[in-house]
C-alpha cells in the first residue's frame, strides 16, 4: 500500500505511541535514525533508538533528506500532536505514513500524508483517511467511510458503512458507530459508546447507562 521512497525517519516524541510507531517503521523496512523530544536526555536511548535532542535538532536536516513520523499520542482536547505536525509541515518536512503489515486496506482506499494505520485494522473499499489521523489497533472501518484529518479512532472502534468523521474528532476505545452517521469536528465520543444519531461539532458524547433493574 505504501510505495513511497523509504528515506530515513526521525520520530517526534519518545512515549508509548512513539514506541509503537517505531516498531511499525522497522517492520516495514524504514531506517529510524533517532527521536526528538524535550523529555529525555540528548544521547540517551529509548526503546533501542537514540535521542537526538529537542525539536531544534531538526534544523540541521534537509527536508528532502528525511521523513518525520509523529510519535506524539492523541488525547481529547490536547493539541500538541497536531500543532507539531503543522509546525514542521510549514517548514517543508513530510510525514511518513505508518501502516502495520497486519492491517487490511482495500486497494481503492485513500490515505493522507502521515496517516497511521495500526495492527489488525481493516479499512474497506471506498473509504478515506485524512492527514495525520490515527486508526488505532484493531479498528474496523466498513465501506465508504470518510475520516478527516487530525482524527483519532482509538483501539477496537467499529464504523459501519458510510460514516463520516470530521476534522479533529476523537472516538474512544470500543465505540460502535452505525451506518451513515456523522460525527462533527472536534467532538469527543467516550469509550464503549454506541452511536446511532449524528453528533454535532465540538460535542462531548458520554453514553448514559441504563439500569436494567429499573
Helix extents (H) in 46-155: 80-90
- In this structure, the answer to whether residues 166 and 182 fall within a common structural domain is yes
Residue 209 reports pLDDT greater than 70 = no
Q: In which domain, by residue range, is 38 found?
A: 9-90
- In this structure, the answer to whether residues 73 and 134 fall within a common structural domain is no
Residue 149: the pLDDT is 97
- In this structure, the answer to whether residues 111 and 161 fall within a common structural domain is yes
Other CB atoms within 10 A of residue 92 CB? 9
In 6-145, the DSSP E strands lie at 9-12, 32-36, 45-46, 49-53, 67-70, 98-99, 104-105, 110-111, 116-117, 122-123, 128-129, 134-135, 140-141
pLDDT per position as a tens digit, 81-106 = 999 999 999 999 999 999 999 999 99
Question: What are φ and ψ of residue 55, in 5° steps?
Answer: -60, -25
- In this structure, the answer to whether residues 170 and 136 fall within a common structural domain is yes
- In this structure, the answer to whether residues 82 and 172 fall within a common structural domain is no
In angstroms, the Cα distances linking 75 to 87, 126, 127, 149 are 19, 28, 24, 15
Arithmetic mean of pLDDT, 141-148? 98
Residue 214 reports pLDDT greater than 60 = no
Write down which residue in 53, 72, 90 finishes a domain: 90
Residue 143 inside a domain? The answer is yes
Write down which residue in 90, 116, 145 finishes a domain: 90
CATH number at residue 24: 3.40.50.20
Write down which residue in 73, 90, 107 finishes a domain: 90
pLDDT per position as a tens digit, 150-160 = 999 999 999 99
pLDDT per position as a tens digit, 11-36 = 999 999 999 999 999 999 999 999 99
- In this structure, the answer to whether residues 102 and 62 fall within a common structural domain is no
Residue 1: the pLDDT is 47
Position 125 confidence tier, pLDDT thresholds 50, 70, 90: very high
Amino acid at each position: 500500500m505504501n510505495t513511497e521512497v523509504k528515506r530515513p525517519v526521525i520520530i517526534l516524541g519518545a512515549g508509548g505511541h512513539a514506541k509503537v510507531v517505531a516498531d511499525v517503521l522497522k517492520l516495514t523496512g524504514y531506517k529510524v535514525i533517532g527521536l526528538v523530544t524535550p523529555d529525555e536526555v540528548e544521547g540517551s536511548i529509548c526503546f533501542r533508538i537514540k535521542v537526538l535532542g529537542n525539536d531544534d535538532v531538526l534544523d540541521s536536516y534537509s527536508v528532502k533528506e528525511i521523513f518525520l513520523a509523529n510519535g506524539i499520542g492523541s488525547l481529547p482536547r490536547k493539541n500538541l500532536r497536531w500543532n507539531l505536525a503543522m509546525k514542521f509541515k510549514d517548514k517543508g518536512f513530510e510525514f511518513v505514513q505508518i501502516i502495520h503489515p497486519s492491517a487490511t486496506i482495500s486497494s481503492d482506499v485513500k490515505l493522507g500524508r502521515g496517516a497511521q494505520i495500526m495492527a489488525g485494522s481493516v479499512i474497506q473499499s471506498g473509504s478515506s483517511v485524512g492527514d495525520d489521523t490515527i486508526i488505532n489497533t484493531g479498528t474496523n472501518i466498513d465501506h465508504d467511510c470518510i475520516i478527516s484529518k487530525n482524527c483519532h479512532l482509538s483501539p477496537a472502534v467499529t464504523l459501519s458503512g458510510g460514516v463520516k468523521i470530521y476534522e479533529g474528532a476523537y472516538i474512544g476505545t470500543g465505540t460502535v458507530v452505525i451506518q451513515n452517521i456523522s460525527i462533527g469536528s472536534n467532538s469527543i465520543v467516550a469509550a464503549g459508546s454506541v452511536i446511532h444519531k449524528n453528533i454535532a461539532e465540538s460535542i462531548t458524547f458520554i453514553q448514559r447507562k441504563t439500569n436494567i433493574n429499573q
